[in-house]
């Protein structure tokens, strides 16, 4: 019977790892569809960003209460994985609490800490469920989240609560069996939380207790493996991608717009024609801006997968708050949806769609004020503004599509070297 259990565990573990690996490689392949960009400068500052923004959740602490609750969930996810390691070893080797004999009294302290974390995680998730579904905070009831995105967040929170309760149930039954000297149940001493709940199960027989303990053990680990494979399809992928995203964040001053070398070169040739005669010939026609996801950088696409859908960007966006069509959160969600669709295409076959217009409208792009509030607010260093600017560049430079006011400004800059319709000769007339 024990060999059958070990075999079933190995099959479940192997299938879970295989499916997760395939999905992870698919996401990596999708991200690398983007244009190359070098983001390896200033490594010391990048490591600092990773530690402060991803590990330390620096931006979350602008709202201390929410930050502390989120930290409980985050710390629980990271630290309780140590307990998952023991479960995996036990499942493979057919042992029970394999670390206990080697750690002595420290084992009880460690499990006690895990139990406190489990209670805090379950409590924090319950509060987050209430905030999302009963308090109806504006950024959580936004139409941005209609359908799957709203359900996704609730499924994750409910799953985490169930996993923590299964962990506590498993430990409670284990404690009763230890006190009865049941075979294979190593005496670890009392655990900090579940030892107080043993009276709830003390009326059960040994066989019933073993059924409860083994059922909770199996459901817990199978739930973890299922969660592992749900993660890449969920907004909670940011649990993993927040770390590389923080490291590869754009270190330029927020709002600074990048120039295109090809355009700068053309302007230089216009101003100094003698340089054009010696310019190296090139058959490659430069492409301006971005129409589809392949025209964006790989960092833009990493941003799309790292988005937490928390809505802090849209809550800070003046366009969103004044009723305009733009929502920075939706820009990221639509980019990810389009990237998933492109990633499914075989042999590079075009589907006749593009990110521009089929997913993101011109009206959304025009509404952006380029203030970079969305960039400043994002807790995981996502930059919706960079995507918007690249798509607007495509509209203006590839399609000559711009509002009348913009065209007037462009014309003035070209003719008068200033946005205003005044001749350069008359620019100092105000003095008189």
pLDDT tens for each residue of 168-203 = 999 999 999 999 998 889 889 899 999 999 999 999
Q: How far apart are the C-alpha atoms of 363 and 331, rounded to whole Å?
A: 12
Give bridge partners of residue 297 from the DSSP assignment.
35
For every residue of 115-170, DSSP letters joined together read HHHHHHHHHHHHHHHHHHHTS--HHHHSGGGTTHHHHHHHHHHHHHHHHHHHHHHH
Label residue 285 by pLDDT band (50, 70, 90).
Answer: low
Q: pLDDT-derived band of residue 281, with 50, 70 and 90 as boundaries?
A: low
Q: How confident is the model at residue 265 (pLDDT cuts 50, 70, 90)?
A: confident
Cα(220)–Cα(17) distance, rounded to whole angstroms? 16
Is the model's pLDDT at 54 over the cut of 90? no
Residue pLDDT, tens place only, 288-315? 899 999 999 999 999 999 999 999 999 9
State percent of the chain over pLDDT 90: 62
Mean per-residue pLDDT over the chain, rounded: 89
Alpha-carbon distance of 379 to 334, in angstroms, equals 19
What pLDDT sits at residue 150? 87
In the predicted structure, residue 283 carries a pLDDT above the cut 80: no
Buried/exposed 318-340: b ≥16 CB within 10 Å, e otherwise: ebbeeebebbbbbbbbbbbebbb
Question: At residue 208, does pLDDT exceed 90?
Answer: yes
| 426 pLDDT higher than 80 | no
- Say yes or no to pLDDT of 431 above 90: no
What is the per-residue pLDDT for 253?
Answer: 83
**Which single residue is written with the structure tokens 């019977």?**
1
Residue, of 199 and 268, whose pLDDT is higher: 199
In tens, the pLDDT along 312-338 reads: 999 999 999 999 999 999 999 999 999
- To the nearest 10°, report the CA torsion of 298, 299, 301, 306: 140
pLDDT at 418: 82
Q: What is the pLDDT of residue 304?
A: 96
Report pTM: 0.88
Percent of the chain predicted with pLDDT > 70: 97
Average pLDDT over residues 90-96: 93
Which of 63-67, 108-112, 273-277, 280-284 is predicted with the least confidence, judged by mean pLDDT? 280-284
Is residue 423 within 8 A of residue 416, CB to CB? The reply is yes
- Which domains are present in the chain? 2-31+63-247 (1.20.950), 261-275+287-425 (1.10.1060)
Residue 370 pLDDT more than 90?
Answer: yes
pLDDT digits (tens, 9 = 90+) for 214-235: 999 999 999 999 999 999 999 8
The DSSP 8-state label assigned to residue 431 in this structure reads G
Instruction: Give the confidence band of 348 by pLDDT, cuts at 50, 70, 90.
Output: low
pLDDT bin (cut points 50, 70, 90) of residue 282 is low
Say which residue, 236 or 268, is predicted with more confidence.
Answer: 236
């Amino acid at each position: 019977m024990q060999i059958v259990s070990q075999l079933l565990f190995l099959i479940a573990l192997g299938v879970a790892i295989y499916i997760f690996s395939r999905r992870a490689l698919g996401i990596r392949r999708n991200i690398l569809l983007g244009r190359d960009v070098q983001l390896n400068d200033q490594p010391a500052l990048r490591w600092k960003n990773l530690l402060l923004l991803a590990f330390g959740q620096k931006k979350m602490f602008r709202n201390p209460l929410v930050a502390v609750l989120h930290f409980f969930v985050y710390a629980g996810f990271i630290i309780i994985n140590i307990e998952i390691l023991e479960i995996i070893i036990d499942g493979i080797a057919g042992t029970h609490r394999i670390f206990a004999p080697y750690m002595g009294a420290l084992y009880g302290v460690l499990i006690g800490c895990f139990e406190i974390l489990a209670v805090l995680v379950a409590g924090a998730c319950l509060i987050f469920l209430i905030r999302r579904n009963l308090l109806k905070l504006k950024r959580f009831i936004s139409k941005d989240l209609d359908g799957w995105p709203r359900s996704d967040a609730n499924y994750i929170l409910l799953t985490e609560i169930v996993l923590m309760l299964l962990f506590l149930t498993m430990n409670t039954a284990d404690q009763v069996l230890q006190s009865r000297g049941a075979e294979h149940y190593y005496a670890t001493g009392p655990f900090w939380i579940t030892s107080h709940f043993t009276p709830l199960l003390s009326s059960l027989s040994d066989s019933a207790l073993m059924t409860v303990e083994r059922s909770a053990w199996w459901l817990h680990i199978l739930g973890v493996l299922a969660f592992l494979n749900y993660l890449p399809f969920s907004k909670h992928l940011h649990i993993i991608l927040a770390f590389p995203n923080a490291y590869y964040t754009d270190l330029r001053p927020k709002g600074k717009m990048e120039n295109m070398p090809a355009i700068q070169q053309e302007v230089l040739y216009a101003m100094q024609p003698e340089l054009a005669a010696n310019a190296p010939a090139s058959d490659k026609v430069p492409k301006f801006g971005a129409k589809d996801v392949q025209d964006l950088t790989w960092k833009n696409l990493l941003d799309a997968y790292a988005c937490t859908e928390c809505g802090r960007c849209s809550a800070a966006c003046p366009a969103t708050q004044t009723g305009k069509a733009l929502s920075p959160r939706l820009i990221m969600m639509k980019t990810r949806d389009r990237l998933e669709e492109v990633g499914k295409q075989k042999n590079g076959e075009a589907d006749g769609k593009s990110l521009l217009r089929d997913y993101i409208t011109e009206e959304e792009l025009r509404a952006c004020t380029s203030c970079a509030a969305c960039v400043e607010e994002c807790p995981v260093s996502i930059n919706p503004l960079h995507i918007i600017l690249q798509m607007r560049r495509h509209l203006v430079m590839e399609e000559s599509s711009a509002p009348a006011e913009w065209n007037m400004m462009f014309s003035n800059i070209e003719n008068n070297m200033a946005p205003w319709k005044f001749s350069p000769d008359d620019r100092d007339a105000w003095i008189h």
